[in-house]
Amino acid sequence: MLKNCVLLLVLSSFIFACKKQKSHDAFSFEKGNFITYLENKKDSSVFYRVDNLQIEAYRNKVDTFDIKWKNKFEFHLKKQRPITKLDSTTFVVKITKIKDNSYEFQAHYKNSNFKQKGSTYKLN
């Protein structure tokens, strides 16, 4: 069933990606279907955002996050059902560049030296 949900999410995302995209500002990334590529382009995840919720599929695992927008260029993610201490740590994402239907970001776990960069593309 989990595979079916992920497949449905991916397929609906690509169907909506075929529509003509318009210019975006940071707040146009608050809702919709997205795909994120990490800086090394080896890892990616797909996710859906609505209101204060993000549902993400990464490496055949689906997680649900609470999302809080701090301003138009920063948001915080926190897993709803953390299993480990790292899972319960807030993930801070800062949008560094916006272009058409995508944004580049830098992210880190709160109170950590871990850093991550990547790009996110809106699919609908």
Q: Which of 25-29, 84-88, 94-98 has the highest mean pLDDT?
A: 94-98
pLDDT at 40: 78
- The CATH code of the domain that includes 70 is 2.40.128
- Per-residue pLDDT of 35-85, as tens digits, reads 999 987 788 999 999 989 999 999 899 999 999 999 999 999 999 999 999
pLDDT classification of 26: cutoffs 50, 70, 90? low
Could you tell me the two tokens for 73? 């260029």
pLDDT of residue 89: 96
**Number of compact structural domains in the chain:** 1
**What residues make up the domain containing 81?**
2-122
Q: What is the pLDDT of residue 110?
A: 94
* Phi and psi based region of residue 51 (left: phi greater than 0; alpha: psi -120 to 50; beta: remaining): left
Q: State pLDDT tens for residues 91-101.
A: 999 999 999 89
